[in-house]
Structure formats: structure tokens, C-alpha cells
Structure 1
Amino acid sequence: MAGGTWESTNRPVLPGLYMNFQAAAASAIQGGDRGTVVVLVKGNWGPEQQFVEIGSETAINSIFSGDSDNGATAYSSLYLALLGSPKKLLAYRLADDTAKKSSVTLKAEDVAVLKLDAQYTGTRGNGFTATVQPSITDSTKKELRLYEGTRLLRSYVSTAGTAADFAAQINADEDNTYVVASVVGNGGVPSDVATAAFSGGASGNAGLVNADYIAAQEALEGENFDVLALDFAADSALLQSFAAWVKRVRSEGKLITAVVGGSAADDISAKAATTAATRSLALNYEGIVNVGTGVRIGTTDYSSAQTSAYVAGLIAGQRLNESTTYHVAPFDDVTRRWTRSEQEQAVKNGVFIFFNDGRQVKALRGVNSLVIPGAGQNNAWKKIRSIRVMDAINTDLQQAAEDSYIGKVNNTEEGRLALIGAMKEYLTQLAQSSVIEASGFDVILDPAYYGESPVLKPEADQVFLQWNVKLTDVMEQLFGTFYVQ
């Protein structure tokens, strides 16, 4: 799907819808009320380098396990993302080359006959055990049981009791998400064993480096999603790499937003506000949100980097006519309460923070990391809501153009009028949803390319449009004067 931005001196080659948003002609769209979040995680179990959909806390535990040993972040990050209520949550597990599957080999006397390998790499598999004993219900048959701790995972009964029979049953079991079986040598009948422990499993978390996260960008580029969160406080080099990547893919039409944060130590430091502001200034981009405060749920503290997963879910889960400003969060407190002056600096310096108003924890203001607007931008580019609206109109109009106009409608006056009419109808729907102002919006042929004396002349297969739209916003500052008689 070709698309992205364009320049009059460097027009794109591929067919597609190319849009520039200038401050005088900001556009908005109702692009669907929910979005998809991807969180990069580390785990002690689960598929590696695959996008796995997570729909509940139960799914986190069953697919990735719920522990945080060995630096695993899957449970905490995905749990926080779910609290934000995105339409869809995808997990992508990273692991280094030390990641290994646990296994156990069952024997007949002293000869190996059946090998059981954990389905995924990670230390969780080291908690599996297998037993081979006569069946409780029929002593003429053999039963192989799989346990995790004291919890029975699966049970298989065989009349012959051979390794081949057990392997066939295990591998054909659609509900078996734990082990893969293979016959060793000529096979045979496994001897009875009360407890055969799996071992050798390694998670591959400790050796992950920036290059592993950078390598994941290629996979991310091929996946459809809206918001991305990292699972840890990345250093400046990795943040800059992701910033450059986000800028590139956005310029090519993949309009994603990345959410990042800092370490727990930075969050509670006396210099927390300055550190977070410095991070935003270094990023300074409307497609990246920088979280500055850690949060607390019960007795558990989460760093601002971990909290970025919640913010990602929140951004994706909101309708376009909603804002994250003053959104009530499901937290009990923040790990450090910023002063009034620090909060003011956060708003000015592109830092997304949470505050405790004495009753609830709320998001302060829905800002991204853009501190200094670039050419053709104004302060609207600093708002998460404004960027989501602009991204949505770009994405939806590009899709509509591809489905109904590009390569299908003749580039005549009638064809261009039909395209403009469809765009106006689309904006009317946005206005009815209060995403844009109801009066004053318009779609016209760009005067720079059409009219009696155009500055530039379009090619026969090119159409240049101009949107004139005023974005709506929520009330964020109320001013009143109180008169006492």
C-alpha cells in the first residue's frame, strides 16, 4: 500500500494517496473507535518472534506465564496494556540465542525410548514433570501424566504402553500446549517412573541487547498496528533508533505512535522532571509519547517505562472525540508526586505524566514528545488527540482512494468532482461526531495546481486536493471571574 507524504519538487513514483498536513489545513477523520497495540516483551515461556494476540489476564498466564523471574516482562507489560482497553493487543517476545527448551528422556531399563521437549524455550518448562505408571482405572494399561508443580496438565492412557503410542497421542492432542514427543531409537515401553523432571530450559532474557530490539523493527514493519510500547527503559541510543524508525515509517504511510518511558530510579529521583523533559527534547516528535511518572497498584510499583504499555492501550482504546487529558487511571498512586511547577514544566516539555488529586490518579494532559514544532506545524501537533485524528484521516482516505478511485476513476473534471464529493461526505460524518468543527470545512482542488494560472501543472494521472478543516478539542482550561456583591 503506497502512500505517505510528498514534496512538489520530489513527487512519488508509486500510485497511491499522498497527503501533507499543513497547519492552515489540518484535517480530521473518524477512523474507528479502537486500535491495536503491540508490546515487545521478554518471557519465560511462549512463542518467540511471533505476534500473539492477548485478550485477557488468563491468556497472559497460559501463553507467557505470570512470573517475572529472569527479567521477564510479559505479564506486567501485557497486564498494564490490557488495563488501557485497546481493541486488540499483540505481544512479541524477544529472546537471545541462549534460549533453550527444557526436556526429559524416558527410558526402558537403561535405554532411552521417549523424549519430551517443552513446546517453547524458557525456564517455565523446568517446572514440568512426567510420570509413567499403571492406569488407576485399568491396571492392564499404562498412563503417562504431565504435571506443572502439583497441577496436572495432561494425561494419556495406552494399552500397549509404547513410546510410539504415547508420542502419537501427545502430538495429536490439540489441547496440549506444553510438550512435543519423539520416539528415541527403536522405541519400546517406558519403565514406570514416579517423577521425571524436565531440565535445561533457559529464557534468553539476560543477553538481549539493543540490536535485538532494532532487529524487531523489521517484523513490526510488516504487522498492522497503531501503537507500540517497549517493555523497559531503553537507553538514548535505542530510543533514537526507534525515533528514527517511527519517523521513517510514518513518512511512508504507516502511521503508528510509539510510547516510551524511563527507569524506576529516574522516576523517583529529585531530578525526575528534568530527566523526563530531557528525554522528550531528544525525541521531539509527534509520533512518540514520553511517559514521565511511575505508578503503583496495591503494593506493586511500575516504572514509567512499564507504564508506557498502559498509555499505549489507553491511546488505542479511546474514540477519536475523546482525550487522555484528566483520564482517570486504575492506579492507587504514583511513585513520585510531582510539584505544581514540575507539572507545568511537563506540559511545556512534552512529558505525559500521571498525578494524584487526593482522590484519584489521573493523566495530566494528553501531550506527545513534540517540544519544538517544525515547519508547517503548530501547537496542535503537540496533542495526542490531534495526531490520532490526523493519522486517522490519512489512513482512512488512503484506503478509500485505493478501494474506489485509484486505477478505477478517470482523471476528468467529473471524476475529480466525484472524489471531492465523497471526501466532503466523509468530513460531514466527522463533524456529526464532533471530531471536527461542523462549519467551515471544505475539500477543493489545490489552487496551486489548478485554475487559470497554476504555479505547477499536474501530470495526467495526478490529483492534488486541499482540505480546510478545524479540529475540535476537549475543554482543558476553564477561566472564570467570581464577583462578590
Structure 2
Amino acid sequence: MATGVWNENNRPTIPGFYNRFKAVAEKRIGTGIHGILAMPVKANWGPIEKVISIKNEKDLINKFGKENTAYRLGRLALLGRPKELLLYRLTDGAEKVANLILKDTEDTDVLKLQTIYPTTRDFNVTVRINIVDSEKKDLILYEGAKQLYVFSGLGETIEEIVKNINENIENMWIKATKLDEGNGKLKNIVNEALTDGNDGNKSISNEQYLKAMNVLEGYKADGFCLDGVTDEALQNTVKAWVKRNKTKGNNIIAFLGCKDTDTIQQANTKSKGFNFEGIVNVGTKGIYEGDKYTPAETACYIGALAIGQNLKESICNEVAIFEDVEPRLSKEEIEASLEAGTLILTKEDDEVIIVDDVNTFKKYTEEKDEIWGYIRAIKFINTVDSDTALKRKEFSGKCPNNATGQLALICALKQYFEVLEKEDVIEDFTVEIDKELQAKAKNDEFFWKWDAKYVNVMKRIYGTGYIR
């Protein structure tokens, strides 16, 4: 069933549920989401070109290891507490699994070990006689000098050894293939390396990122970030991708950042160039546990934090995990950054805070006023869009398009907005038939509209003191 946006001159023809949003003077609308952040990453372990859900840091290490942007920025994103983190491992086409041929005691090649995923990890193997049963062997897997696992008491035939390795539910690293039965007895070896692996990270291009973005479209992510990449062409492609997805009913906010060497003025220029509510541009670096994260890397944390919050929350003045920030901006630079739509961090009273939840949309229009320039508001709009579109399952193609059916749909939609009102997200709302457009509608079309006063959070608080 289709969803998406519409306008008077381009009404979609596929049956479904379509929304559009207009800001009206003093009746401003805002936004929210469901907490899913997606990111393409580079890794030295893990499934390639697949979308993998990550629950916590241990899960991240098990699935992608502790190298490259998968760990560095996946861990940073998890610290922002998204409700779900989706990672997609990029490769350049040269990726290869590592392997090792094991011989029997007569030097016949009998068994091939291969890593489960393409990698250059320093895996090595020792084969020795089992201390309990001298007719059996132990195969010990190491990474460097660290012992990972002991496949103990392996069978008396190569067939049995292969089966024991491959069917071991605790085995997350290697798979075995029988080459020959030989004499059935593995030759002892000490720390023989699995070689010829390639992680596929050397020549990753924008094309691989575009492929990842196309795959991620099917997973309904609310937020998206690049793994620290600042390539201008790629970032502009992300903007176009977010816009295109919006027309299809996939509401995504992309969190990007400027180059490590950019000045705050250059970051502001980039934000002005974006000028889009679906793009957040981070202009400062965060320092965490002594490690400096570029603005584009810091954006991964900001994205996770913003996406993970509920509709009533805002990252404005939110205390971040970082212990310091670079550069330290002056008051005038902070004001200029916010005006340009650059999200920045600053340090106050030994805490690093996010100054305001701005996105890059700052050239306001009649249909999009200043409320569209903030992440919290866009989250709310995206939430209403997706939540009301779920009603398509109840009504599109199942409900008569007469007064009774139209009333049933309006009542269902009102119940949704009543929940938002009770939660102090909106107030003074109306949901009704759009009589002007319905008067010109075809017999299978129904037009409705809603209007609500958006309840913002307090950001600027002004006090007056009188001394007597």
C-alpha cells in the first residue's frame, strides 16, 4: 500500500495514504519519530552488504569486531541511546575470506578452514593431541596471541572434524570444508595463520554508499548518518536521497558534519547551502575519553541522541557524553552558527551541551515557517505522517467513500491527535474534511486536513529582578 506526499498538481494514482503539511501563521506544527538510526560503515568483520541490527556494544563487537568505523562510530552512536541501530558493512569488491589448508600426518591436504566473513584479522590455529584421548585432536583458534576458542576432542575422521566445527553453535569465526579423507588424522601445527584475507576497505567509493542507501530505504529508518565521510558530492547526494524518500513516505533526517579542517564560518556556509529540514549539519568536534571525533563523526552521536528521544523531548541544552569540545566558540560565533542552521556543542560548567536542536532549514517560506528549522519539530511532523499513514490498512480499499465512511476515518484520526494533545505535544487541534478539495474529488478520493498549535519547549527564559 502506497504512502507519500501530494500536491494539487500531482496527485498520486496508487491507492494509499498521502499527506502534506503547511504551516499557518500562528498555528505551527512540529514533529517526532520512532528511534531507528541507520549508518553504512567500514569493518574488518561481519556480514557484507546486509542490514544488521545492533543491540549493545557487546553485540557490536560480536558482529563487526573492534576495528574501523563500524566499531568507532557504532559505539559512539550506541552511547546516544537510539531505540535501534542499523549498520550496513561497505566493501569495495576486493573482499576475501582468509583461509588455511590443514594436512594429515602424511602431508595430504585434507581440510580447508575459512573465516566466516572477509577479513584481515590475525587468526591463527594450533592443532594438538587431545590430552584425554590421544586418538583425537584439539583445534585451538587464536587472534594474535589471544585464545578465542578450543574445538576439543575432534572426531577420528575428517568428515567428523568438519561436522564438529561447522555445527558448533558457539563457533562465530571459521567454517571447515573437507578436501580429502586422507588417513583421517590431522597433522599437528602451531600458530599457523589464516592468510589471503581482504577486508574490502581500501577502495570504497561513493557508489558503495549509494548502494547502501538504496538498501536501507526498505528498513524505515528515522535517522541516517555517514560514517564520518565529508565528501561534498556524497553529502549532496544524501540530501537528494532524503528528499526523494520523503515523496515516497519514508521520512528520514540525515545527520552530517563538516570537514575536520573547516572553520566554523565554512561550516555555516555548508549549512546555508543545504537549507533543508531533513539535513542536520554539525560544526564542532566532540572529545570523548580523550579521543577526538570530527564534526562528521560527532554527528553519529547527535543523530542517535535526537532520534532516540520521544516527541516531548528536545536535545536543546542536552548534556552530551563528551568531556570537551573544539573549537570553543565565542557568543557571537554561536549566534551566527544557529542563525545559519549549524548544530554546535559548547562547554559550560564542566559539561558539554548541545546549544540548540537546529537543522539547516533557515530560509523560511509562507508554507514553512521557523518551526521547521528545528529537529524536534521535524520529528513530530514525520511521526504524524507515518502514524496517520498506518490508517491506510484500516480504511484504504476497505471503507465506503460516503458520509459514513468519511466520518469513521475522521473519528479515528481525531483519536490519534487527542493522544498528542494529552501528552502536551499539541493543543487546540482540529481534524476535518477538506471541503474545498473534496468538492472536486473523484469518487475514490478523500481529502482531510488537520490543524494544531505546536507546543514547543522552553529554550530562552528571561527574568527581571527588582532591587529595593
TM-score, normalised by the number of residues in structure 1? 0.92
**220, 223, 230: which one aligns with 1:224:** 220
Aligned to 1:118: 115
Q: Within the alignment, does 1:477 sit opposite 2:460 as a pair?
A: yes
**Local SS of the residue matching 1:328:** coil
Letter in 1 for 2:437: Y
1:28·1:393 contact (CA, 8 Å) conserved in 2?
no
Q: Within the alignment, does 1:15 sit opposite 2:21 as a pair?
A: no
Aligned to 2:381: 390
1:98·1:202 contact (CA, 8 Å) conserved in 2?
yes
2:133·2:153 contact (CA, 8 Å) conserved in 1?
no
Q: Within the alignment, does 1:466 sit opposite 2:455 as a pair?
A: no
Q: Separation in 1 of the partners of 2:387 and 2:336?
A: 35
Letter in 1 for 2:241: W
**Local SS of the residue matching 1:53:** strand
Once the 2 structures are TM-superposed, how far is the Cα of residue 77 of structure 1 from its aligned partner? 0.7
Q: Within the alignment, does 1:191 sit opposite 2:187 as a pair?
A: yes
Once the 2 structures are TM-superposed, how far is the Cα of residue 154 of structure 1 from its aligned partner? 2.7
Q: Within the alignment, does 1:338 sit opposite 2:329 as a pair?
A: yes
**328, 349, 368: which one aligns with 1:377:** 368
Q: Separation in 1 of the partners of 2:429 and 2:401?
A: 24
Q: Separation in 2 of the partners of 1:441 and 1:56?
A: 39
Structure number having the greater strand percentage: 2
1:82-231 alignment, distance < 5 Å: 82-108=78-104, 109-124=106-121, 127-158=122-153, 160-187=155-182, 188-231=184-227
**Local SS of the residue matching 2:376:** helix
Once the 2 structures are TM-superposed, how far is the Cα of residue 159 of structure 1 from its aligned partner? 6.3
Aligned to 1:347: 338
- Any idea what the Cα deviations from partners look like across 1:84-135, whole Å, max 9, x if unmatched? 11111111110112222111111123321111001111212xx111111110
- Distance change (3 Å), C-alpha of 1:466 and 1:160: closer
Q: Within the alignment, does 1:408 sit opposite 2:398 as a pair?
A: yes
Q: Within the alignment, does 1:233 sit opposite 2:235 as a pair?
A: no
**Local SS of the residue matching 1:21:** coil
1:28·1:469 contact (CA, 8 Å) conserved in 2?
no
Once the 2 structures are TM-superposed, how far is the Cα of residue 30 of structure 1 from its aligned partner? 7.1
Aligned to 2:5: 5
**Local SS of the residue matching 2:436:** coil
Count of matched residue positions in the alignment of Structure 1 and Structure 2: 464
Letter in 1 for 2:396: I
Q: Separation in 2 of the partners of 1:100 and 1:292?
A: 37
Letter in 2 for 1:368: N
**Local SS of the residue matching 1:469:** strand
Q: Which moved more, 1:197-206 or 1:381-390?
A: 197-206
**Local SS of the residue matching 1:431:** helix
Aligned to 1:443: 431
Q: Separation in 2 of the partners of 1:335 and 1:28?
A: 31
Unaligned runs of 5+ in 1: 267-271
**Local SS of the residue matching 1:265:** coil
- What is the aligned-residue RMSD (CA, Å)? 1.7
**Local SS of the residue matching 1:77:** helix
Aligned to 1:269: none
Q: Separation in 2 of the partners of 1:348 and 1:28?
A: 19
Aligned to 2:37: 37
Once the 2 structures are TM-superposed, how far is the Cα of residue 233 of structure 1 from its aligned partner? 2.7
Once the 2 structures are TM-superposed, how far is the Cα of residue 334 of structure 1 from its aligned partner? 0.5
1:49·1:93 contact (CA, 8 Å) conserved in 2?
yes
Q: Which moved more, 1:1-10 or 1:281-290?
A: 1-10
- Any idea what the Cα deviations from partners look like across 1:346-387, whole Å, max 9, x if unmatched? 111111111101321010100111121345110011010111
Identity of aligned residues (%): 36
Aligned to 1:434: 424
- Any idea what the Cα deviations from partners look like across 1:138-161, whole Å, max 9, x if unmatched? 223222221223333232344653
Aligned to 1:251: 247
Q: Separation in 1 of the partners of 2:289 and 2:416?
A: 46
Unaligned runs of 5+ in 2: none
Q: Within the alignment, does 1:73 sit opposite 2:69 as a pair?
A: yes
1:26·1:390 contact (CA, 8 Å) conserved in 2?
no
1:156·1:166 contact (CA, 8 Å) conserved in 2?
no
2:30·2:371 contact (CA, 8 Å) conserved in 1?
no
Letter in 2 for 1:279: K
Q: Separation in 2 of the partners of 1:332 and 1:209?
A: 33
Q: Separation in 1 of the partners of 2:203 and 2:109?
A: 33
- Any idea what the Cα deviations from partners look like across 1:160-215, whole Å, max 9, x if unmatched? 53322211111111221100110114444221112211112221212011111112
- Any idea what the Cα deviations from partners look like across 1:222-280, whole Å, max 9, x if unmatched? 222111111023211111111101100011110111111123222xxxxx211111111
Q: Separation in 2 of the partners of 1:323 and 1:371?
A: 19
- Distance change (3 Å), C-alpha of 1:374 and 1:110: farther
TM-score, normalised by the number of residues in structure 2? 0.95
- Distance change (3 Å), C-alpha of 1:431 and 1:448: same
Q: Separation in 1 of the partners of 2:451 and 2:188?
A: 78
Q: Which moved more, 1:214-223 or 1:348-357?
A: 214-223
Q: Separation in 2 of the partners of 1:27 and 1:338?
A: 32
Q: Separation in 2 of the partners of 1:244 and 1:427?
A: 31
